[in-house]
């Protein structure tokens, strides 16, 4: 959730090159709607958004039971700002300007959180999928999947019992 479109596009490009699917929202309300409609592995959240403070969005998400890891990415660098963001429910806080390798490392660190906290490993029948390590198994045999096929399988496994439209799949995998 980032209102500076140029920065949002750079983050999307970098994360996509690393194999991540990325959705972008320019306002807190739009981000909240997207988070209600889809399952995310992590949320990168700006603190200063045009409609309301990212810390307020973070706090609202936590009250609604959203356990997705949140990395607050903001220019607000005072100790009180960092403490406020973390106390609002953010799992990590990174100040702009930032190093992209550091952003990636922090996202990887959030993805390593215990399964019981994030519920990262997905199962369906004899298929297991671990989004944090991007690995899939059928029984005891590991299966190598290209990125798009992995994302489709992940989406379907995260939404078991729900109808997924072509647009939903396309937005998750190719957007």
- What is the residue-averaged pLDDT of the chain? 87
CA distance 34 to 54: 15
What integer is the mean pLDDT of 84-88? 90
Alpha helices, H only, 4-99? 5-17, 28-37, 54-63, 79-87
What integer is the mean pLDDT of 37-62? 91
Q: What sign for the dihedral angle of Cα 6, 111, 162, 148?
A: positive
pLDDT tens per residue across span 88-103: 989 999 999 999 999 9
pLDDT tens per residue across span 146-169: 988 988 998 888 777 778 888 888
Q: Which residue has the higher pLDDT, 131 or 78?
A: 78
Per the listing, tokens 């592995």 go with: 41
- In this prediction the pTM is 0.66
Give the pLDDT score at 114: 57
pLDDT tens per residue across span 106-137: 998 887 765 444 445 788 889 998 876 788 99
Give the pLDDT score at 118: 45
């Amino acid at each position: 959730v980032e209102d500076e479109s140029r920065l949002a596009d750079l983050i999307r490009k970098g994360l996509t090159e690393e194999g991540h699917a990325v959705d972008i929202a320019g306002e807190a309300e739009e981000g909240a709607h997207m988070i209600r409609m889809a399952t995310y592995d992590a949320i990168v959240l700006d603190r200063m958004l045009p409609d309301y403070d990212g810390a307020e969005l973070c706090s609202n998400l936590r009250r609604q039971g959203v356990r997705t890891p949140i990395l607050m990415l903001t220019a607000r660098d005072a100790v009180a700002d960092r403490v406020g963001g973390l106390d609002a429910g953010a799992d990590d806080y990174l100040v702009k300007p930032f190093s992209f390798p550091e952003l990636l490392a922090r996202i990887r660190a959030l993805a390593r959180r215990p399964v019981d906290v994030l519920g990262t490993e997905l199962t369906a029948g004899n298929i297991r999928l671990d989004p944090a390590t991007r690995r899939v198994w059928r029984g005891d045999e590991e299966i190598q999947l290209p990125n798009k096929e992995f994302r489709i399988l992940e989406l379907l496994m995260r939404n078991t019992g729900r109808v997924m439209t072509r647009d939903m799949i396309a937005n998750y995998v190719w957007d």
